[in-house]
């Protein structure tokens, strides 16, 4: 039964979402998720254990965007709509909001067109760059910018990205899904003992790379740097966990480093992932473009040193000389030097990692960021109720807030 004190939130998911975000939204709101069917994939990264309503839509982005518009432009069943990204589903939600639907927020976790521009040109393999698709993404971004009610972005970098779309809509920086500092935290257990429990090598240094395999994540530069370290005679291992681990192993074989690479499917983020950070000597975020970079934040929360490309939202969290080491995008030799600096200076690495954890606790603690989101949505729903009631006064009997809700 619906709790009248909880906002009715509709979360529109076009390209899959993380279980941590779903869990936190379901804890705070009466949650309905309208999700596009993902070919050979899942709309939610892991099996949810929380309570919410899931409505699965078609796999076609065009048909899904149409479904979102029709679904949200009917009677007001929701107090607030949160829609992922600024593509066709966002267009449907924004149009519905314009004609009387619930207030809509675009949740921006990644710079879609900038990620797309990282794709290889002139390649028929994998995910090639196509000019017409890129133009379509840019056009959708600008149209949604004109229609937008409100944006929620996870970094100042992404605020700049959406402002470049020409929008005048309000933009709030709220770094959902945050970091659970009780799960991701330092441990007094020796790294080698954790590795032994996990079946990882106990000798040598362990590097962790948890990014998905995609053009913008630049795993190629990481593998080149890793090979340089091995050629120097360093005893290092590279741990990778993601849904694209098989592709990563293929790339590692081409780079001639397979014997020192351990790659498996992604771990549940709340059931074992923290152990990988705690077992590692450092975490690498080797991106060509990045919205924020939660892998780096989770590592720092665990007290694990971070090396990251100086790009996008990573520049707001991994500060060279303060909370980590940074290097120019794509520069494998510079990346290898940064990794060597971490391994050769354990006390300095620890100092920077602890400073990074302090940053996470102050700015990215999960409970804090979701409380900010909850306050934002409550204010928006309250303003919508006030507008509705003012119109009701002019056109007929005044209705209470509860009556406004019940009309959905």
Given a cut of 90, is residue 153 above it in pLDDT? yes
Asked if the model's pLDDT at residue 353 lies above 70, the reply is yes
Residue 390: band (very low, low, confident or very high) from pLDDT cuts 50, 70, 90: low
Residue 382's pLDDT is what?
A: 83
**Secondary structure of 101-152 in the HEC alphabet?**
CCCEEEEECCCHHHHHCCCCCCCCCCCCCCHHHHHHHHHHHHHHHHHCCEEE
Return the structure tokens found at 352.
Answer: 């920077």
Those residues whose C-beta lies under 8 Å from the C-beta of residue 259, and which sit 6 or more positions away, are none
Residues 9, 45: Cα–Cα separation, whole Å: 20
From residue 323, alpha-carbon distances to 45, 190, 289, 319, 365 in Å are 29, 22, 19, 5, 17
Q: What is the pLDDT of residue 400?
A: 40
Q: For 29-58, b where at least 16 C-beta lie within 10 A, e where not — what string?
A: bbbbbbbbeeeeeebbbbeeeeebeeeebe
Of 158, 44, 21, 165, give the one whose Cα is nearest residue 94.
Answer: 165
Q: Identify the residue with better confidence: 397 or 210.
A: 210
Helix (H) or strand (E) holding 64, with range, is helix 61-72
pLDDT at 1: 45
Which CATH architecture describes the domain 191-363? 3-Layer(aba) Sandwich (3.40)
Angle at 111 between CA 118 and CA 281, to 5 degrees: 75
- Fold identical between 8-178+365-406 and 191-363? yes
> Is there a contact between 230 and 223 (Cβ–Cβ < 8 Å)?
no
Q: What mean pLDDT is predicted for residues 302-323?
A: 98
Range of lowest pLDDT (116-125, 301-310, 325-334, 360-369): 116-125
| Comparison of pLDDT for 268 and 56, the residue scoring more | 56
- pLDDT computed for residue 406 by the predictor: 38
Across residues 314-332, what is the average pLDDT? 98
Asked whether residue 7 carries a pLDDT value surpassing 50, the answer given is: yes
386-406 per-residue burial string, b: 16 or more CB within 10 A, e: under 16:
eebeeeeeeeeeebeeeebbe
pLDDT higher than 90, residue 381: no
Q: What angle do CA 352, 357, 363 make, to 5 degrees?
A: 125
Mean pLDDT of 209-231: 97
- Architecture field, domain 8-178+365-406: 3-Layer(aba) Sandwich (3.40)
| Confidence at 213, pLDDT banded by 50, 70, 90 | very high
At residue 205, the pLDDT reads 98
Tens-digit pLDDT profile for residues 108-117 = 999 999 999 9
Domain ranges of the chain: 8-178+365-406, 191-363
CB contact at 8 A, 280 and 207:
yes
Count of positions (residues) in the chain: 408
Distance from chain centroid for Cα 35: 17
The angle formed by the CA atoms of residues 175, 149 and 13, to the nearest 5 degrees, is: 55
Q: How many CA atoms lie within 13 A of 52 on its CB side?
A: 30
Residue 401's pLDDT is 41
Rounded CA gap, 173 and 363, in Å?
11
User: How large a percentage of the chain has pLDDT more than 70?
Assistant: 92
Summary mean pLDDT of the chain: 92
């Amino acid at each position: 039964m619906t709790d009248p004190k909880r906002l009715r939130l509709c979360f529109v998911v076009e390209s899959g979402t993380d279980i941590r975000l779903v869990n936190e939204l379901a804890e705070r709101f009466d949650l309905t998720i309208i999700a596009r069917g993902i070919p050979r994939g899942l709309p939610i990264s892991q099996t949810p254990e929380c309570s919410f309503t899931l409505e699965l839509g078609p796999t076609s982005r065009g048909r899904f965007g149409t479904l979102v518009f029709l679904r949200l432009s009917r009677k007001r069943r929701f107090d607030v709509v949160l829609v992922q990204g600024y593509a066709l589903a966002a267009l449907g939600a924004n149009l519905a909001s314009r004609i009387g639907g619930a207030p809509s927020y675009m949740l921006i976790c990644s710079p879609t067109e900038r990620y797309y521009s990282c794709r290889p040109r002139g390649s028929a393999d994998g995910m090639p760059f196509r000019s017409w698709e890129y133009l379509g993404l840019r056009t959708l971004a600008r149209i949604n910018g004109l229609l937008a009610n409100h944006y929620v972005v996870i970094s100042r970098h992404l605020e700049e990205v959406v402002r470049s779309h020409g929008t005048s809509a309000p933009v709030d920086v709220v770094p959902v899904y945050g970091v659970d500092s009780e799960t991701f935290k330092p441990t007094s257990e020796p790294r080698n003992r954790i590795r032994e429990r996990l079946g990882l090598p106990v000798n040598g240094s362990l590097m962790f790379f948890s990014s998905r395999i995609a053009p913008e994540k630049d795993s190629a530069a990481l593998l080149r740097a890793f090979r340089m370290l091995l050629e120097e005679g360093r005893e290092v291992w590279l741990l990778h966990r993601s849904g694209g681990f098989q592709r990563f192993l293929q790339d590692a074989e081409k780079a001639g480093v397979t014997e020192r690479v351990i790659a498996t499917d992604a771990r549940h983020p709340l059931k074992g992932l923290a152990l990988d950070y705690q077992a590692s000597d450092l975490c690498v975020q080797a991106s060509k473009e990045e919205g924020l970079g939660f892998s780096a934040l989770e590592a720092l929360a665990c007290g694990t040193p971070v090396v990251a490309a100086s790009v996008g939202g990573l520049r707001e969290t991994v500060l060279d000389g303060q909370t980590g080491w940074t290097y120019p995008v794509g520069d494998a030799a510079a990346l290898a030097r940064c990794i060597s600096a971490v391994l050769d200076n354990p006390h300095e690495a620890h100092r920077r990692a602890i400073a990074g954890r302090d940053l996470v606790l102050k700015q990215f603690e999960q409970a804090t960021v979701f409380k900010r989101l909850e306050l934002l949505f409550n204010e928006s729903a309250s303003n919508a109720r006030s507008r509705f009631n003012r119109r009701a006064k002019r056109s007929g009997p005044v209705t209470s807030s509860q009556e406004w809700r019940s009309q959905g």
